[in-house]
Amino acid sequence: MASVNGSALPDVKKSEELKAQANEAFQAHRFARAVELYTKAIELNSENAVLYANRAFAHTKLEEYGSAISDASRAIEINPKYVKGYYRRGAAYLAMGKEKEALKDFRQVAKIVPYDPDAKRKLKECEKAVNKAKFEAAIALEWQSVMTLDYTTIEVEETYQGPRIDDKITLDFVKKMMEEFKNQKTIHKRYAYQILLQTHETLKATPTLVDITVPPNGHFTICGDIHGQFYDLLNIFSLNGLPSEENPYLFNGDFVDRGSFSVECIFTLFAFKCLYPTGLYLSRGNHESKSMNKIYGFDGEVKTKFNETMSEMFTEVFCCLPLANVINGKIFVVHGGLFSSDGVKLSDIRSINRFREPPEEGLMSEILWSDPHPGQGRIPSKRGVGVAFGSDVTTRFLQENNLDLVVRSHEVKDEGYEETHDGKLITVFSAPNYCDQMGNKGAFIRFDAPDLKPKFTTFSAVPHPSVRPMQYANNFFSMLA
């Protein structure tokens, strides 16, 4: 970059070359590479609003909504009439469930281009989303639990050909259910209700932080996000065996949303939880929440495949999921990550009131949303929620709690896993070719006692029926994605 009187001048030509490369990377779904290239282009020409808006879109694809909002705001600052800046920021706000903020941006778009039919359509859809959210907030004040439903009064028609539960859930039933799901069929709502009610009772009696014991010569498997990718879940079981007391698993949150076979995933996991309470463990992820489910597809999928009552039941069950697990007193497992301040003890986590929708800040929010970063200390999260924590934060947390390792999920990794923070933190992600476009592998971790050293298995995506991801997602969000 040239300079005049000590002030840097933009290198427009080189910046545009990098922008073109970034656009190509974006089209190839290499979103992290696109962010890197847009950043280099911005360094050469920091007053180009298009570069910030484009980078905002790439951040959105990476679910880094805080960074997307920051970039879109910068684009608007450079050019207050730049429509795409408002579009990008509005989409990021919507992805975070902040409909009111999104509405302000889409109203601004309509002011700038009042005769644009697409702008009018998106504004109308956003207004509908805000009004729906207001209505749901109002009726929430009259909320009553749906977990009192008596499934035994529901008749199973003679024409029903699927698997049946005679008295209690059996392995034979679960295997037949998975086969039905594999063939794109479903189970009778009576049995679906029975699974949900039994899971609710089991989880409600489970501590917020679960202590798991792996006996000598035993083993334990941890899986990360599966995000509704049922056929990849079946592949995990094919590679590593079905869950059982002798072959225990922990699925570390984000079972649903994004993928369009979330119903199949969650009923399979819940049925195994009912069958083997200490053969399958579950941690809550940031997508086991009402706000995320309404945006990213699970709510729509449940209502399409079952009904609204079933959707309400899932909301209640998700609020009973534990937030953390400790294996043999040494391995700390959470979905997201660590905390915005030092000194958090395991006893603090045990005392969290988890029976609610996740708050926007505090220990529960950070457990579900935080991410590691490669440096030291803490920096703002790219997601706009939680915190990004460095290796020193991880080391202090482990030392203060006499732990050896943090295992977490929450982020796509090219190889399905990543070891960072001097080997003291592992990220595992079990949804290969995430959303049918990221090209990543999936992975799971097996720990063999007594040394509990991690052994990684990676795997590629398997074919699935031609139902696109986000098939059941919020219509407005799908329109912007």
Q: How far apart are CA 271 and CA 450, in angstroms?
A: 29
Instruction: Find the radius of gyration of the CA atoms of the chain.
Output: 23
Q: How far apart are CA 438 and CA 413, in angstroms?
A: 10
Kindly give the pairing relationship between strand 219-223 and strand 249-251. parallel
Tokens for 124? 């109308």
Strand ranges (E), 242-370: 249-251, 280-282, 324-327, 331-333
Q: How far apart are CA 260 and CA 188, in angstroms?
A: 19
Residues with catalytic function: 287
Compute the 3-state secondary structure of the chain and give helix, strand, coil in percent, each to the nearest 5.
45, 15, 40
Tokens for 21? 């490369």
Three-point CA angle 16, 20, 21, nearest 5°: 120
Contacts of 149 (CB under 8 A, 6+ apart): 193, 197, 309, 313
Tokens for 261? 């076979």
Contact 444, 240 (CB under 8 A): yes
Contact 430, 224 (CB under 8 A): yes
Greatest Cα pair distance, the chain, in angstroms, is: 87
Tokens for 247? 């072959």
